[in-house]
Amino acid sequence: DTLWDLAIAEVEKRENADNDGKPAEVWEKSLLFMGNKNGVILNTVHYFSLHREETPKPTLALEYTFGRRTRRHNTPKDIAHFWELGGGTSLLELIRVPITSHNIGSFAVVLVLDLSKPHELWTTAEKLLQVTRNHVNKILTKLEKTNPEVATEIKQRMWNNLQRDHPDYELIDPFPLPMVIVGSKYDIFHEFESEMRKIISKTLRFVSHYYGASLVFTSKSEALLLKARVLINHLAFGYDKSKSLSVDHNKPLFIPAGLDSLSQIGPPPASESDIGKMRANTPLELWKKVFEKTFPPKSICDLQDTKDPAQDLQYAEYEVDVMRAQKNQ
């Protein structure tokens, strides 16, 4: 080989290698967005990660898109798979589609809760997280038999956001997948009475901390969307996690996972006599009872949707619609 051949080979080697000299690996992550029936209007692609210009449309069932980012010149592009579950809690079975034994090691969840509807807030979060957790646990049980190393790694990773010397280490129950909880429609929430905002904020702080999740309040404001985008991009592309913190209930909350504590959150917002009368087996159950005393859960029948997707213009198909009209006639 000539000197030039050696030089070219060296440059190619450097461009296609990480610092340790190994070939650059493609970063590939998957995110599932889910939440209130009309709360996940914070369209995955449009608002959070890919800065696309098209106007977001409501999610009908389960939608998929992806994004790619380049870390540096001449290296493979990182890929993020985005899934979005529509229909609130009416299509829970579809959670099994995106989360599989093949991608569970690189999966994360974004739970979008509508702050303007506190009466639906706890029920929505509880149902979605319960079904997701049950599905993930089934996958982990199977992995323990087929690939115990991966199962152990995933279980250990659940605790990554909390240092062993954290005072709450023994008191919380981390969610099996990395998670961000997004409180949407902060602009409406901000108009609530101070005491209502305090109860909702404290409760969501507790839930997020208990599950080892990050928490961010957002709206259509570009500044708030940017904060949410920081947390989403951390999960999707491994960008640095923000160290900033905002815990004042009079301002939009922004709390990266592991930076809160039960002592800072304080006890559930109820009198000692009321708490004494409530029978609860876990701290989460106690907070639920206190929250639902102020905001009784609304009876929601998610399956009865007043809008017929077949009438939605975004799904128009001229030939099919003409035939359907003839049949109806």
Instruction: Residue 252: give its domain's CATH number.
Output: 3.40.50.300
Give a yes or no: residue 42 inside a domain: yes
Reported as a single tens digit per residue, the pLDDT across 158-176 is: 888 777 788 888 888 899 9
Residue 28 has, within 13 A of its CA and on its CB side, a CA count of: 8
Sign, CA dihedral 160-163-166-169, equals positive
DSSP string, 84-112: EE-STTTTGGGGGTT--TTTGGGEEEEEE
> What is the total count of domains within the chain?
1
The answer to whether residue 11 sits within a structural domain is: no
Q: Note the pLDDT tens digit of each residue in 127-137.
A: 999 999 999 99
Rounded-to-integer distance, Cα 309 and Cα 12, Å: 52
Dihedral pair phi/psi, residue 77, rounded to 5°: -80, 140
DSSP string, 57-85: ----SEEEEEEEE-SSTTSPPEEEEEEEE
Query: What pLDDT does residue 177 have?
Result: 93
Q: Is residue 6 part of a domain?
A: no
Confidence of residue 68 (pLDDT cuts 50, 70, 90): confident
Q: What DSSP assignment string belongs to 124-174?
A: HHHHHHHHHHHHHHHHHHHHHHH-HHHHHHHHHHTTTTS-TT-TTTTT---
Return the percentage of the chain with pLDDT > 90, whole number.
39
What integer is the mean pLDDT of 3-23?
71
What is the per-residue pLDDT across 180-192, written as a single tens digit (0 to 9) for each?
999 999 999 999 9
Residue 229 · residue 237 · CB < 8 Å: no
Predicted local distance difference test score (pLDDT) of residue 17: 57
* DSSP 8-state code for residue 242: P
pLDDT in tens, 195-242: 999 999 999 999 999 999 999 999 888 888 888 888 888 888 888 877
Q: What is the average pLDDT value for the chain, to the nearest integer?
A: 83
Do the beta carbons of residue 121 and residue 35 sit within 8 Å? no
Answer with the residue of higher pLDDT: 19 or 289. Answer: 289
Q: Which residue has the higher pLDDT, 325 or 58?
A: 325
Do residues 21 and 10 lie in contact, with contact meaning Cβ atoms separated by under 8 Å?
no
Tell me the HSE value of 43 on the side-chain side, using a 13 A CA sphere: 17
Q: Is it the case that residue 304 has pLDDT exceeding 50?
A: no
What is the pLDDT confidence band of residue 33, given thresholds at 50, 70 and 90?
very high
Whether the predicted pLDDT of 45 surpasses 70: no
In a domain, 273, yes or no: yes
What are the φ and ψ backbone dihedral angles of 253, each rounded to 5 degrees?
A: -70, 145
pLDDT bracket for residue 63 (50, 70, 90): confident
Please list, in sequence order, all residues whose beta carbon lies within 8 angstroms of the beta carbon of residue 198, skipping any fewer than 6 positions away.
Answer: 249, 269
What average pLDDT score do residues 72-82 get?
80
Residue 181's Cβ-count burial label (10 Å; 0-12, 13-18, 19+) is buried
Any domain includes 4: no
In-domain check, residue 10:
no
Q: What is the pLDDT of residue 291?
A: 94
Domain coverage including residue 101: 26-328
Q: Is the pLDDT of residue 66 over 60?
A: yes
pTM of the model: 0.80
Residue-level pLDDT at 209: 94
Name the percent of the chain lying above pLDDT 70.
84
